[in-house]
Structure 1
């Protein structure tokens, strides 16, 4: 039984009976009951599957961004990362428009480029004029990569405009890059007070988030400089006075990946995968606040070297009730009246949670939904890594906007593991949340 249902009950005897019954059901089953009770929204389209193997070019879907063509909204684009497979660009029918390879390895013993997350910057001033850019974190080389967006360019809408002298984000040298504690999660932000554009970048297997100012370079290219960094906690004091850290491989700290900045107030939301969702200033000053916890928060675990997995202990009951680890893709759904939602992918139970986007309202939980199969034609989204929402008309196909979600377990008939992206009518999501 969902914990919030127990809290709302006014009769103590009923509360006691329901709580006892809930404890008798395994935690995984309780989470599944919660997920199945949420409204279902079907996808309208899906991209061709990506395969993370030699035959598929080591392409693995991860994170999308939606670029709106203001002159012709029906010709808007979705830009998405495919890790070692580089970038993919899709039209609104989820058909491939362009494929961009990740940069090669710096040498035989080094990692190739690996594009993890992507976001957009609009109207950045370059030496060649203003341009919209797709920005991606290259985990393999510990850099940011920049691609100018020109929808009608004959050879494809994206052009690489990365300054070849752009420095590593976190690493001091190639040896540190080879350790792959490198640029991971990514969100962009333009400060309305100064007009300066930034990228907020998290570090793989660490709790660090860096604020990078994006800068024009010669020849219409783009580089960046580090303004400051902030480390989120890796250990937490529990209500019973004990200390807890999420279980992981030796030396691995609880990393952040999903991030998004609310442009209305300069608030950054950051998903610490095994912990929960943080709210903090996008300029990385002030004190971060944990606005929700994953259900597994506080559960002890022991790492097994042989299985390379963590064996969980007993749940002390200090976690949240709405999201299950990992908390992944974060995106904003902004409404015309200024209200809207922060959406979070609850990867552990294949659902999406919606929170009030106003910090003044304590980012209250507003409900959730699932992206599920549509009449047997399209499967849903499972183990979702990344998500992007755009609440603006996108032609006749998506007059109320679009939600794009990664599908971490695409359904195929040839036995290979595959991933991809599902396109969802944002109007149907809003209807589900309003019911």
Structure 2
């Protein structure tokens, strides 16, 4: 890549960017690159665990029969899984324990399979399964281990549609130590099984991941390094570092990842640039830098800071979200009526977010 506004995987980190913190941790100043702003159209009721880093990752199910009645899922990583209406009110909550990241796939016949990384056992990665009804009700399914003891804690998580007969879906568990485990899911939505697994190497702690189903590419965020891409069509995919977190477009930690699709392979990969409370976008499939944006205060809803998980879904979601929807975890939603610190999820019009990214 030779464009001057492209983040190069091999680019050196400018010494002026790094500041030494008293505890030895790298502290990054705000990115020097222009950053647009957008406001949220809605926000969810905070997750139930207060005074803690609790809300983490969202997923969106688009109701094909009535898009305005689509459902947002969000994890409380200390307690379980929520489903929300698009106005942010709670539909259901399953007290399923230590769930970190969540994703879903729609199966033939209309069944929605939901799964999340389960952190109950810090040594053995596992997936917690659910099904989602069209009214937003969740039904808890089994918890299945996807690695032997010592494989590492299940941390990040994303899913992709099945690529062969006899499969329900493919799941990707990003262990806290780095390696990614692909689990091919079989059986039924109510009684899933693990058909096979394979592992991909990541050097250090990673979390955010997303599969671009159009190209069968897996993107994984290595928190202090950048974004890796794996070609899932290969028998033994080797990761390629396609965007370095060097404090310009992308400021560590690299957290949630989401695809905003356009056409057969275009659109954007959006990443949570947690180190400066922003979101960076890269054009697909080249991964050329495309823009940055922040969610700021406005319309009676506060902006977002220290975002972990994000999600983007294309299409109409009714009059409130006529052209896509973007959801971001907010690490500081302010105090509740009792003075307890809270976290929640912010919902942004997809068209507004993309316009702000492009500086329009």
Please confirm whether the aligned pair reaches a TM-score higher than 0.5, indicating the same fold.
yes
CA distance in 1, matches of 2:199, 2:248: 31
CA deviation map 1:273-327 (0-9, x unaligned): 11110011235723211011122xxxxxxxxxxxxxxxxxxxxxxxx52111110
Match of 1:83 in 2: 77
* Residue matched to 2:319: 396
- The correspondence of residues 13-412 of structure 1 with structure 2, limited to 5 A, is 23=16, 31-32=29-30, 34=32, 37-50=34-47, 52-53=49-50, 60-102=54-96, 113-123=97-107, 131-141=111-121, 142-152=125-135, 157-162=137-142, 166=144, 168-172=145-149, 181-192=152-163, 194=165, 196=167, 197-204=169-176, 206-216=177-187, 220-233=190-203, 254-282=204-232, 285-295=236-246, 321-336=248-263, 338-358=265-285, 361=286, 363-375=287-299, 377-412=300-335
Please tell me the root mean square deviation across aligned C-alpha atoms, in Å.
2.8
TM-score, normalising length from structure 1? 0.71
Larger Rg: 1
SS at match of 1:31: coil
Distance in 2 of aligned mates of 1:393 and 1:158: 23
CA distance in 2, matches of 1:61, 1:41: 21
Distance 1:95 1:391 in 2: 22
Shift in Å at residue 51 of structure 1? Answer: 5.1
* Partner secondary structure for residue 308 of structure 2: coil
Per-residue deviation, 1:220: 3.5
- Listed one character per residue, the Cα deviations across residues 173-224 of structure 1 (whole Å, up to 9, x for unaligned) are xxx59xxx321111111244657321011112x121111011115x931122
Residue 315 of structure 2 aligns to a residue whose secondary structure is coil
- Closer, same or farther: CA 277–406 of 1 in aligned 2, 3 Å: same
Deviation at 1:157, TM superposition (A): 1.8
Hey, what's the Cα distance between the residues in 2 that align with 1:30 and 1:349?
8
Instruction: Please give the alpha-carbon distance, in whole angstroms, between the structure 2 residues aligned to 1:144 and 1:89.
Output: 18
User: In the alignment, is the contact (CA less than 8 A) between 1:59 and 1:85 conserved in 2?
Assistant: no
CA distance in 1, matches of 2:349, 2:28: 29
| Per-residue Cα deviation, 1:119-155 (whole angstroms, up to 9, x for no partner) | 111116xxxx762111111111442112112113xxx
CA distance in 2 between partners of 1:215 and 1:337 (Å): 27
> Does the C-alpha gap of structure 1 residues 220 and 26 become closer, same or farther in structure 2, counting only changes over 3 Å?
closer
Of the two structures, which has the highest relative contact order with CA contacts closer than 8 Å and spacing of 6 or more? 2
State the TM-score, normalized to the length of structure 2: 0.85
SS across alignment from 1:220 = coil
